[in-house]
Structure 1
Amino acid sequence: MHKIDLHLHTQNLKSGDGNRRKISSENFGRKMYENNVSICSITNHNKFDLNEYNEIIDLYPDLTVFPGIELDVKFDGNQTKHIILIANSTVKNTFSDVFNEENREYDSFKIKYDDFISKIKKFDPKDLIIIPHYYYKEKERGLTSQQTAKLRDDCKEYIIILEPNDLRCILQEKIP
Protein backbone atom coordinates (compact mmCIF):
# COMPACT_ATOMS: atom_id res chain seq x y z
CA MET A 1 0.00 0.00 0.00
CA HIS A 2 1.38 3.38 -1.00
CA LYS A 3 0.96 6.38 1.27
CA ILE A 4 0.71 10.16 0.98
CA ASP A 5 2.32 12.48 3.52
CA LEU A 6 1.89 16.21 2.94
CA HIS A 7 3.48 17.37 6.20
CA LEU A 8 7.17 16.48 6.35
CA HIS A 9 10.19 18.34 7.70
CA THR A 10 13.80 18.06 6.53
CA GLN A 11 15.36 20.90 8.53
CA ASN A 12 15.19 21.96 12.17
CA LEU A 13 14.70 25.68 11.80
CA LYS A 14 12.90 26.61 15.01
CA SER A 15 13.77 26.04 18.62
CA GLY A 16 12.02 22.90 19.73
CA ASP A 17 12.49 21.20 16.36
CA GLY A 18 14.22 17.91 17.06
CA ASN A 19 17.35 16.67 15.34
CA ARG A 20 15.25 14.02 13.58
CA ARG A 21 13.95 16.85 11.41
CA LYS A 22 17.40 17.38 9.93
CA ILE A 23 17.70 14.88 7.11
CA SER A 24 19.82 14.82 3.96
CA SER A 25 18.20 14.65 0.54
CA GLU A 26 19.54 11.11 0.06
CA ASN A 27 18.13 9.91 3.38
CA PHE A 28 14.83 11.68 2.79
CA GLY A 29 14.16 9.70 -0.38
CA ARG A 30 15.24 6.45 1.23
CA LYS A 31 12.91 7.06 4.19
CA MET A 32 10.01 7.71 1.84
CA TYR A 33 10.63 4.42 0.02
CA GLU A 34 11.09 2.49 3.29
CA ASN A 35 7.74 3.80 4.53
CA ASN A 36 5.91 3.27 1.22
CA VAL A 37 5.32 7.01 0.80
CA SER A 38 5.04 7.76 -2.91
CA ILE A 39 3.53 11.26 -2.74
CA CYS A 40 4.76 13.86 -0.27
CA SER A 41 5.48 17.49 0.45
CA ILE A 42 8.33 19.04 2.40
CA THR A 43 6.85 21.66 4.74
CA ASN A 44 9.64 23.12 6.82
CA HIS A 45 8.80 25.92 9.24
CA ASN A 46 8.74 29.30 7.52
CA LYS A 47 11.03 28.14 4.69
CA PHE A 48 10.76 26.52 1.30
CA ASP A 49 14.23 25.42 0.22
CA LEU A 50 14.14 25.38 -3.58
CA ASN A 51 17.67 23.96 -3.87
CA GLU A 52 16.86 21.10 -1.51
CA TYR A 53 13.60 20.44 -3.34
CA ASN A 54 15.35 20.30 -6.73
CA GLU A 55 18.03 18.00 -5.35
CA ILE A 56 15.43 15.56 -3.99
CA ILE A 57 13.40 15.41 -7.19
CA ASP A 58 16.62 14.91 -9.19
CA LEU A 59 17.76 12.09 -6.90
CA TYR A 60 14.35 10.40 -6.72
CA PRO A 61 12.44 10.97 -9.97
CA ASP A 62 9.92 8.21 -9.11
CA LEU A 63 8.90 10.00 -5.91
CA THR A 64 6.21 12.67 -6.29
CA VAL A 65 7.29 15.62 -4.14
CA PHE A 66 5.37 18.87 -3.93
CA PRO A 67 6.80 22.21 -2.80
CA GLY A 68 5.48 23.23 0.60
CA ILE A 69 5.92 25.40 3.64
CA GLU A 70 4.47 25.56 7.16
CA LEU A 71 3.96 29.21 8.04
CA ASP A 72 3.41 30.93 11.36
CA VAL A 73 0.42 33.16 10.60
CA LYS A 74 -0.46 36.00 12.96
CA PHE A 75 -4.22 36.46 13.40
CA ASP A 76 -6.03 39.30 15.17
CA GLY A 77 -5.46 39.28 18.89
CA ASN A 78 -1.81 38.41 18.36
CA GLN A 79 -2.57 34.69 18.00
CA THR A 80 -0.06 32.75 15.91
CA LYS A 81 -1.37 29.71 14.07
CA HIS A 82 0.28 27.16 11.77
CA ILE A 83 -0.88 26.88 8.18
CA ILE A 84 0.69 24.57 5.61
CA LEU A 85 0.75 25.46 1.93
CA ILE A 86 1.32 22.85 -0.77
CA ALA A 87 2.10 24.10 -4.28
CA ASN A 88 1.89 22.65 -7.74
CA SER A 89 5.46 21.78 -8.76
CA THR A 90 5.06 23.87 -11.93
CA VAL A 91 5.06 27.05 -9.78
CA LYS A 92 7.97 26.09 -7.51
CA ASN A 93 10.10 29.11 -8.49
CA THR A 94 7.27 31.59 -7.91
CA PHE A 95 6.37 29.78 -4.68
CA SER A 96 9.95 30.22 -3.49
CA ASP A 97 10.00 33.90 -4.48
CA VAL A 98 6.66 34.68 -2.80
CA PHE A 99 7.08 32.78 0.46
CA ASN A 100 10.80 33.21 1.19
CA GLU A 101 12.98 36.18 1.95
CA GLU A 102 16.68 36.54 2.49
CA ASN A 103 17.93 36.53 6.07
CA ARG A 104 14.60 35.38 7.52
CA GLU A 105 14.80 34.50 11.21
CA TYR A 106 12.77 31.28 11.04
CA ASP A 107 12.23 30.96 14.77
CA SER A 108 10.64 34.38 15.23
CA PHE A 109 9.07 34.89 11.78
CA LYS A 110 5.34 35.52 11.69
CA ILE A 111 3.34 36.66 8.69
CA LYS A 112 0.27 38.81 9.30
CA TYR A 113 -2.94 37.14 8.20
CA ASP A 114 -3.80 39.82 5.60
CA ASP A 115 -0.29 39.57 4.10
CA PHE A 116 -0.65 35.79 4.04
CA ILE A 117 -3.93 36.07 2.11
CA SER A 118 -2.37 38.58 -0.32
CA LYS A 119 0.45 36.14 -1.06
CA ILE A 120 -1.97 33.25 -1.59
CA LYS A 121 -3.92 35.36 -4.09
CA LYS A 122 -0.79 35.58 -6.27
CA PHE A 123 -1.47 31.95 -7.22
CA ASP A 124 -4.16 30.38 -9.29
CA PRO A 125 -6.43 28.32 -7.01
CA LYS A 126 -5.47 25.16 -8.91
CA ASP A 127 -1.84 25.68 -7.85
CA LEU A 128 -2.21 25.77 -4.04
CA ILE A 129 -3.68 23.65 -1.29
CA ILE A 130 -4.11 25.23 2.15
CA ILE A 131 -3.87 22.95 5.19
CA PRO A 132 -4.30 24.73 8.52
CA HIS A 133 -3.67 22.96 11.78
CA TYR A 134 -7.07 22.61 13.31
CA TYR A 135 -7.93 23.60 16.87
CA TYR A 136 -8.24 20.09 18.28
CA LYS A 137 -4.81 19.04 17.08
CA GLU A 138 -3.00 21.78 18.93
CA LYS A 139 -5.08 24.32 20.79
CA GLU A 140 -2.24 26.83 20.76
CA ARG A 141 -1.35 26.63 17.06
CA GLY A 142 -4.55 25.29 15.52
CA LEU A 143 -7.23 27.48 13.99
CA THR A 144 -10.52 27.84 15.81
CA SER A 145 -13.80 27.34 13.98
CA GLN A 146 -14.16 31.11 13.57
CA GLN A 147 -10.65 31.47 12.12
CA THR A 148 -11.30 28.51 9.83
CA ALA A 149 -14.54 30.13 8.61
CA LYS A 150 -12.66 33.39 7.90
CA LEU A 151 -9.96 31.52 5.98
CA ARG A 152 -12.61 29.67 3.97
CA ASP A 153 -14.38 32.94 3.20
CA ASP A 154 -11.15 34.70 2.18
CA CYS A 155 -9.99 31.77 0.02
CA LYS A 156 -13.27 30.53 -1.44
CA GLU A 157 -11.72 29.32 -4.69
CA TYR A 158 -8.87 27.39 -3.03
CA ILE A 159 -8.79 23.87 -1.66
CA ILE A 160 -8.62 23.94 2.14
CA ILE A 161 -8.05 20.73 4.09
CA LEU A 162 -8.16 20.77 7.88
CA GLU A 163 -5.35 18.87 9.59
CA PRO A 164 -6.81 17.51 12.81
CA ASN A 165 -5.04 15.11 15.13
CA ASP A 166 -8.09 12.91 15.08
CA LEU A 167 -10.81 13.08 12.44
CA ARG A 168 -13.44 12.43 15.11
CA CYS A 169 -12.72 15.94 16.46
CA ILE A 170 -14.15 17.56 13.34
CA LEU A 171 -17.29 15.47 13.56
CA GLN A 172 -17.89 16.65 17.14
CA GLU A 173 -17.88 20.33 16.29
CA LYS A 174 -20.08 22.03 13.72
CA ILE A 175 -17.82 23.98 11.37
CA PRO A 176 -19.40 27.04 9.78
Structure 2
Amino acid sequence: MKRYFTPSSEVERIAAGLREKYRIVPERTLAVCYRGTDKDREVKPVDPAEYLAAGRHLLETVLFDRVYVQTDQQQVRDFLMNGFGDLAFFVEEMPVTSTTHAAIHRMNIEAKMGLDRTEFGRRLVAAVSIMSSCAAVVTHTGKVGLRTSLEQGKADGLYQFTKNQSLDPALPSEAPAVI
Protein backbone atom coordinates (compact mmCIF):
# COMPACT_ATOMS: atom_id res chain seq x y z
CA MET A 1 0.00 0.00 0.00
CA LYS A 2 2.66 2.51 0.99
CA ARG A 3 4.79 1.63 -2.02
CA TYR A 4 2.10 2.42 -4.57
CA PHE A 5 -0.13 4.94 -2.83
CA THR A 6 2.14 7.20 -0.80
CA PRO A 7 1.76 10.71 -2.23
CA SER A 8 4.86 12.33 -3.68
CA SER A 9 6.56 15.16 -1.81
CA GLU A 10 5.03 17.60 -4.32
CA VAL A 11 1.52 16.28 -3.60
CA GLU A 12 2.20 16.41 0.14
CA ARG A 13 3.32 20.05 -0.26
CA ILE A 14 0.09 20.88 -2.13
CA ALA A 15 -2.05 19.09 0.49
CA ALA A 16 -0.27 20.90 3.33
CA GLY A 17 -0.81 24.23 1.60
CA LEU A 18 -4.52 23.48 1.12
CA ARG A 19 -4.90 22.36 4.75
CA GLU A 20 -3.35 25.62 5.88
CA LYS A 21 -5.25 27.86 3.44
CA TYR A 22 -8.63 26.32 4.31
CA ARG A 23 -7.80 25.79 8.00
CA ILE A 24 -8.65 22.10 7.76
CA VAL A 25 -8.51 20.18 11.02
CA PRO A 26 -9.03 16.63 9.73
CA GLU A 27 -10.16 15.10 13.03
CA ARG A 28 -13.00 17.69 13.20
CA THR A 29 -13.96 17.60 9.51
CA LEU A 30 -16.56 15.59 7.60
CA ALA A 31 -15.73 15.07 3.91
CA VAL A 32 -18.51 14.60 1.36
CA CYS A 33 -17.28 13.46 -2.04
CA TYR A 34 -19.75 13.22 -4.93
CA ARG A 35 -18.65 11.93 -8.34
CA GLY A 36 -20.97 13.00 -11.09
CA THR A 37 -20.50 13.82 -14.78
CA ASP A 38 -20.01 10.58 -16.74
CA LYS A 39 -20.05 8.24 -13.73
CA ASP A 40 -23.47 7.00 -14.85
CA ARG A 41 -21.70 4.96 -17.54
CA GLU A 42 -20.45 2.67 -14.76
CA VAL A 43 -23.08 2.83 -12.01
CA LYS A 44 -26.48 4.42 -11.55
CA PRO A 45 -25.85 7.77 -9.89
CA VAL A 46 -27.08 8.47 -6.38
CA ASP A 47 -29.11 11.65 -5.99
CA PRO A 48 -26.97 14.43 -4.44
CA ALA A 49 -29.79 14.93 -1.93
CA GLU A 50 -28.85 11.51 -0.47
CA TYR A 51 -25.29 12.76 0.14
CA LEU A 52 -26.71 15.85 1.81
CA ALA A 53 -29.03 13.73 3.98
CA ALA A 54 -26.19 11.41 5.01
CA GLY A 55 -23.94 14.36 5.83
CA ARG A 56 -26.66 16.10 7.84
CA HIS A 57 -27.32 12.90 9.77
CA LEU A 58 -23.63 12.62 10.63
CA LEU A 59 -23.59 16.26 11.70
CA GLU A 60 -26.45 15.48 14.09
CA THR A 61 -24.79 12.41 15.60
CA VAL A 62 -21.09 13.33 15.57
CA LEU A 63 -19.46 16.66 16.39
CA PHE A 64 -17.81 18.16 13.31
CA ASP A 65 -16.67 21.75 12.91
CA ARG A 66 -16.72 21.76 9.10
CA VAL A 67 -17.81 19.89 6.00
CA TYR A 68 -15.38 19.54 3.08
CA VAL A 69 -17.38 19.29 -0.15
CA GLN A 70 -15.50 17.66 -3.04
CA THR A 71 -17.15 17.07 -6.41
CA ASP A 72 -16.53 17.41 -10.12
CA GLN A 73 -19.85 19.19 -10.82
CA GLN A 74 -20.51 22.83 -10.08
CA GLN A 75 -24.28 22.27 -9.71
CA VAL A 76 -23.76 19.56 -7.08
CA ARG A 77 -21.10 21.61 -5.30
CA ASP A 78 -23.46 24.58 -5.11
CA PHE A 79 -26.33 22.36 -3.92
CA LEU A 80 -24.23 20.78 -1.15
CA MET A 81 -22.66 24.09 -0.12
CA ASN A 82 -26.11 25.61 0.21
CA GLY A 83 -27.45 22.55 2.05
CA PHE A 84 -24.63 22.44 4.61
CA GLY A 85 -24.54 26.21 5.02
CA ASP A 86 -21.81 27.95 6.98
CA LEU A 87 -20.09 24.69 7.97
CA ALA A 88 -19.27 23.85 4.35
CA PHE A 89 -16.23 24.72 2.28
CA PHE A 90 -14.70 23.53 -0.97
CA VAL A 91 -11.20 23.75 -2.40
CA GLU A 92 -11.39 26.35 -5.15
CA GLU A 93 -8.17 25.01 -6.68
CA MET A 94 -10.09 21.90 -7.79
CA PRO A 95 -11.84 22.42 -11.12
CA VAL A 96 -15.51 21.64 -11.65
CA THR A 97 -17.55 21.34 -14.79
CA SER A 98 -20.78 23.21 -15.36
CA THR A 99 -22.26 20.48 -17.55
CA THR A 100 -23.68 17.19 -16.37
CA HIS A 101 -21.77 14.72 -18.57
CA ALA A 102 -18.47 16.45 -19.40
CA ALA A 103 -15.90 14.65 -17.25
CA ILE A 104 -12.98 16.87 -16.31
CA HIS A 105 -10.43 14.14 -16.98
CA ARG A 106 -11.70 13.93 -20.58
CA MET A 107 -11.72 17.67 -21.19
CA ASN A 108 -8.90 19.82 -22.48
CA ILE A 109 -8.50 21.35 -19.04
CA GLU A 110 -5.46 23.34 -20.07
CA ALA A 111 -7.44 25.25 -22.71
CA LYS A 112 -10.66 25.50 -20.68
CA MET A 113 -9.26 26.03 -17.18
CA GLY A 114 -5.59 26.91 -17.57
CA LEU A 115 -4.56 23.77 -15.68
CA ASP A 116 -2.17 21.19 -17.12
CA ARG A 117 -2.90 17.50 -16.58
CA THR A 118 0.08 16.93 -14.28
CA GLU A 119 -0.94 19.73 -11.94
CA PHE A 120 -4.58 18.56 -12.06
CA GLY A 121 -3.43 15.05 -11.07
CA ARG A 122 -1.37 16.39 -8.20
CA ARG A 123 -4.26 18.48 -6.91
CA LEU A 124 -6.65 15.54 -7.18
CA VAL A 125 -4.34 13.24 -5.21
CA ALA A 126 -3.84 16.03 -2.65
CA ALA A 127 -7.63 16.41 -2.32
CA VAL A 128 -7.98 12.64 -1.83
CA SER A 129 -5.22 12.72 0.78
CA ILE A 130 -7.05 15.45 2.67
CA MET A 131 -10.37 13.58 2.48
CA SER A 132 -8.79 10.35 3.65
CA SER A 133 -7.47 12.11 6.74
CA CYS A 134 -10.91 13.43 7.73
CA ALA A 135 -12.77 11.97 10.72
CA ALA A 136 -15.57 10.75 8.44
CA VAL A 137 -16.11 10.51 4.69
CA VAL A 138 -19.30 10.09 2.68
CA THR A 139 -18.24 8.95 -0.77
CA HIS A 140 -19.20 7.07 -3.92
CA THR A 141 -18.36 3.86 -5.74
CA GLY A 142 -15.46 4.78 -8.00
CA LYS A 143 -11.71 5.23 -8.15
CA VAL A 144 -11.60 8.36 -5.99
CA GLY A 145 -13.81 6.68 -3.39
CA LEU A 146 -11.61 3.59 -3.52
CA ARG A 147 -8.39 5.53 -3.17
CA THR A 148 -9.85 7.56 -0.31
CA SER A 149 -10.78 4.39 1.55
CA LEU A 150 -7.42 2.72 0.87
CA GLU A 151 -5.50 5.77 1.99
CA GLN A 152 -7.72 6.13 5.06
CA GLY A 153 -6.71 2.61 5.99
CA LYS A 154 -9.74 1.85 8.14
CA ALA A 155 -13.46 1.32 7.75
CA ASP A 156 -14.46 3.44 10.74
CA GLY A 157 -15.93 6.72 9.56
CA LEU A 158 -16.17 5.65 5.92
CA TYR A 159 -19.66 5.70 4.39
CA GLN A 160 -19.85 4.68 0.75
CA PHE A 161 -22.82 4.68 -1.58
CA THR A 162 -22.76 1.31 -3.30
CA LYS A 163 -23.64 0.47 -6.89
CA ASN A 164 -27.09 -0.45 -5.51
CA GLN A 165 -27.44 3.14 -4.25
CA SER A 166 -27.43 2.14 -0.60
CA LEU A 167 -25.09 3.56 2.00
CA ASP A 168 -22.63 1.07 3.46
CA PRO A 169 -22.38 0.88 6.39
CA ALA A 170 -25.65 2.27 7.70
CA LEU A 171 -25.39 5.60 9.46
CA PRO A 172 -25.01 5.56 13.25
CA SER A 173 -28.23 6.11 15.14
CA GLU A 174 -26.49 7.85 18.01
CA ALA A 175 -23.24 9.60 18.72
CA PRO A 176 -20.23 7.33 19.32
CA ALA A 177 -18.45 7.55 22.66
CA VAL A 178 -15.31 8.97 21.00
CA ILE A 179 -14.72 10.34 17.53
Greater relative contact order, per chain length (Cα 8 Å cut-off, separation 6+): 2
Structure number with higher strand proportion: 1
Superposition TM-score, scaled by structure 1 size: 0.36
Structure number with higher helix proportion: 2
